[in-house]
Amino acid sequence: MTTTGTRTRAGLVEVTLIVFGVYALGIGLLMMFMPGTFYDTLGAFGVRNDHYIFDNATFEVPQGLMLLAAVRLKSWRVPALAFATVHWALHALSHIVDPHHGAGDLYGWLEAGGLVITTVILALALRASLVGERKA
């Protein structure tokens, strides 16, 4: 692989870690400190339950911090991306199995599709990180 290809692969991994890390951290903090806003904008599934929203936040915040730490700690990249990929795949599956969103089924299916696409992005970054680790 050329130096350009290696840089491109590393760039994909770093951008993915940053984007998903910031997203997970941001969504987790929103869930913790503004559960009503989270529910009204993203989490309108069933009856609002602030305890469960906060419980989910306790997962998202550390995931975001782990992904952001992996930007600097290269040995964390594969495990962090593997963890995030499995999380997003299971989250996508959840939305495929139950796409009924408070804003309507179309919105639910759009969310499910978005989760599938983002899972693919994470999987591509994981693959790139694995290839980069083998070459190092």
| Residue 41 confidence (pLDDT) | 85
| Residue 99 confidence (pLDDT) | 83
Query: Model-level pTM?
Result: 0.87
Domain coordinates in residue numbering, the chain: 3-135
SS (H, E, C) the chain: CCHHHHHHHHHHHHHHHHHHHHHHHHHHHHHHHCHHHHHHHCCCCCCCCHHHHHHHHHHHHHHHHHHHHHHHCHHHHHHHHHHHHHHHHHHHHHHHHCCCCCCCHHHHHHHHHHHHHHHHHHHHHHHHHHHHHHHC
Whether residue 120 is predicted with pLDDT greater than 50 in this model: the reply is yes
pLDDT tens track for 17-42? 999 999 999 999 999 999 999 998 88
pLDDT tens track for 58-110? 999 999 999 999 999 999 999 999 999 999 999 999 989 988 776 678 888 99
| Residue 1 confidence (pLDDT) | 45
